[in-house]
Amino acid sequence: MKMSRRAKRMHRNHKRNANKNGLNLTALMDIFTILVFFLMVNQSEVEVQNTDSVELPVSVSENKPEEQLTVLITGNDLLVQGRSVVALSVLKQGDDEIIPALLSELEYQASRTPLLPGEDSRPVTIVGDKGTEYAVLKKIMSTCAKSGFANISLAVNQKQPGGAG
């Protein structure tokens, strides 16, 4: 059977365009590259608040901290989640085991998030300079325990294997 010129032209165009209906991999690779960079930038690792004035003690612990309430002890202040609560000079002077300003702030923080079923206390991380006095640290820890934050962790820098650190 003889084909008309229009049928020949359509047949030729169909053969030429037959291999163009595949997947465009260039655009797909661009999307995946952007997705990988986005996930790398926004990965959720726990960051402990740190200032240049606080030098953490070194430890061989390998446990990574979880995201929780942080109490930061600087050279001048006591901070809860970055907010200044009380001056450190006031803590060193008093003989009380409980710090009233810290207690009220921790109770406020506790009221913001209810306890999960099966939990008896809330977690807190204390970040302090390695030169922090034990008496001050003891007051802070007893205040945390009194306000329901009895699951206390101390932030440290991890000591590298082989003595470097």
Query: Which pLDDT belongs to residue 152?
Result: 86
6-20, 35-49, 122-136: range with lowest mean pLDDT: 35-49
Q: Strand, helix or coil at 93?
A: helix
Residues 34 and 70 in one domain: no
Query: Which pLDDT belongs to residue 60?
Result: 65
Q: What is the pLDDT of residues 73-112, one digit of tens each?
A: 887 888 888 888 888 877 777 677 888 888 898 888 888 8
Q: Is residue 127 part of a domain?
A: yes
Residues 24 and 62 in one domain: no
Residues 72 and 119 in one domain: yes
Q: Is residue 111 part of a domain?
A: yes
Q: Is residue 17 part of a domain?
A: yes
Number of structural domains the chain divides into: 2
12-16, 53-57, 71-75, 137-141: range with lowest mean pLDDT: 53-57
Residues 77 and 152 in one domain: yes
Q: Which domain holds residue 14?
A: 5-41
Place of tokens 């300003």: 101
Nearest one of 137, 68, 132 to 106, comparing CA atoms: 68
Q: Token pair for residue 64?
A: 């990574």
Q: Is residue 25 part of a domain?
A: yes
> What rounded mean pLDDT belongs to the chain?
79
Residues 96 and 135 in one domain: yes
| Cβ atoms of 140 and 71 closer than 8 Å | yes
Contacts of 155 (CB under 8 A, 6+ apart): 48, 56, 65, 70, 125, 126, 127, 128
Residues 70 and 97 in one domain: yes
pLDDT tier, 163 (very low <50, low <70, confident <90, very high otherwise): low
Residues 33 and 103 in one domain: no
Q: At what angle do helices 100-112 and 134-146 cross, to 10 degrees?
A: 40
| Cβ atoms of 26 and 100 closer than 8 Å | no
Residues 69 and 98 in one domain: yes
Residue 23: phi, psi to the nearest 5?
-85, 135
Q: What is the pLDDT of residues 136-148, one digit of tens each?
A: 888 888 998 888 8
| Cβ atoms of 165 and 159 closer than 8 Å | yes
pLDDT tier, 129 (very low <50, low <70, confident <90, very high otherwise): confident
Most confident of the ranges 34-48, 52-66, 134-148 = 134-148
Task: Centre a 10 Å sphere on the Cβ of residue 69 and count the other Cβ atoms it contains.
Answer: 19
**What average pLDDT score do residues 25-30 get?**
83
